[in-house]
Amino acid sequence: MIEIQRVARLTQLLAAAANANDYCRRLTHDPELGAGMLGTQLFALSNRGMLHCIGSYGLEAFDPSKQLSLFEDNSVADAINSQKLTVTDHEASDRAVTLWVLPFMKGDVPVGASISITDSKVEIKRFSDDAATISSNTGAIYLESLGLKNLFRETPQADDGELTERQYEILLGMAKGETNAQIAHQLILSESSIKQESVRIFRVLGVGSRQQAVAKAKATGLLPASVFKELFN
């Protein structure tokens, strides 16, 4: 498979992915690019230099619940700070693996990174600098398409825990563009209760607004893609 075909294939995977987790799954199982691949993680970069895991599949190089940043010693920070594809030895789940960290760059501004975890015994041909740059720029466009441009702007780190069934229903109403009054009527709750639950939803998701909550739910697959197809049909 010649290099231009590999770059084109990666672009196709990004275009076909329904959300960040789906991209990670597709890349890990791709018969052309996934040779020796054990897992994939996708990170978005906040304006504070914090790395948020927004998608993963298979073996994980980094625990998604633990915060990474550009200001510490890790392979993701190294790749983003150097603005180059970085290949390094790593240990995940007590086994030796190889990490392929591709920074996603919009021009010279980093916006995130894709990490592929591969079997260290499998020989994989590395992208040239030009091919890596094209893939890096394509990845940045993909992150923006997920609605992540301002997703982590000035927002606190997410609280531990998951959404309750009620909170999920409220988030679904937000995605449909319903007002607090409309959601309250459907769930037989007061508007005050909806507002309180909304604050809790924002904390769990680590966002600061309705728009950001819906964007993150769409990007990470928390809400089914069918919800958004119905909205735009």
- Give the residue with greater pLDDT, 111 vs 154: 111
Spatial CA neighbour of 43 closest among 18, 17, 62, 25? 62
Q: Are residues 86 and 186 in the same domain?
A: no
Q: Are residues 93 and 171 in the same domain?
A: no
Residue 24: CB atoms within 10 A of its CB come to: 26
**pLDDT value at position 68?**
83
Q: Are residues 59 and 124 in the same domain?
A: yes
Angle between helices 165-175 and 180-187 (to 10 degrees): 140
Q: Are residues 134 and 182 in the same domain?
A: no
Q: Are residues 76 and 130 in the same domain?
A: yes
Q: Are residues 187 and 109 in the same domain?
A: no
Has residue 66 got a pLDDT over 90?
A: no
**pLDDT value at position 96?**
92
**pLDDT value at position 69?**
83
Q: What is the maximum span of the chain, computed from C-alpha positions, in angstroms?
A: 60
Question: Which residue segment(s) compose the domain that 17 sits in?
Answer: 3-145
Q: What is the CATH number of the domain that holds 176?
A: 1.10.10.10
**pLDDT value at position 153?**
54
Tell me the percentage of the chain whose pLDDT exceeds 90: 48
**pLDDT value at position 157?**
46
Q: What gap in Å lies between CA 27 and CA 18, rounded to an integer?
A: 13
Q: Are residues 36 and 124 in the same domain?
A: yes
Q: Are residues 112 and 41 in the same domain?
A: yes
DSSP string, 14-81: HHH-SSHHHHHHHHHH-TTT-TTEEEEEEEEE-TTSEEEEEEEEES-SS-TTS-EETTSS-HHHHHHH
Which is it for strands 50-58 and 68-69: parallel, antiparallel or unpaired? antiparallel
- Average pLDDT of the chain is 86
Q: Are residues 38 and 125 in the same domain?
A: yes
Domain final residue, candidates 145, 177, 207: 145
Has residue 93 got a pLDDT over 90?
A: no
Q: Are residues 127 and 86 in the same domain?
A: yes
Q: SS3 of 190, please? A: coil
Q: SS3 of 215, please? A: helix
Q: What gap in Å lies between CA 105 and CA 82, rounded to an integer?
A: 11
**pLDDT value at position 37?**
95
DSSP string, 8-30: HHHHHHHHH-SSHHHHHHHHHH-
**pLDDT value at position 154?**
44
Sheet with strand 95-106: strands edge to edge: 68-69, 50-58, 37-45, 109-119, 95-106, 86-92
pLDDT digits (tens, 9 = 90+) for 158-200: 455 678 889 999 999 999 899 999 999 999 999 999 999 999 9
Domain count for the chain, please give it: 2
Residue 58 is assigned to a structural domain of this protein? yes
- Cβ-Cβ contacts under 8 Å for 80 (sequence gap 6 or more): 45, 70, 103, 110, 113
Q: Are residues 102 and 171 in the same domain?
A: no
Residue 95 is assigned to a structural domain of this protein? yes
Has residue 115 got a pLDDT over 70?
A: yes
- The answer to whether the CB of 57 falls within 8 A of the CB of 114 is no
Domain final residue, candidates 114, 145, 176: 145
pLDDT digits (tens, 9 = 90+) for 5-41: 999 999 999 999 989 999 999 999 999 898 899 999 9
Q: Are residues 132 and 50 in the same domain?
A: yes
- Cβ-Cβ contacts under 8 Å for 183 (sequence gap 6 or more): 169, 170, 173, 174, 189, 194
Angle between helices 3-16 and 20-29 (to 10 degrees): 140
Domain final residue, candidates 116, 145, 174: 145
Q: What gap in Å lies between CA 118 and CA 59, rounded to an integer?
A: 9
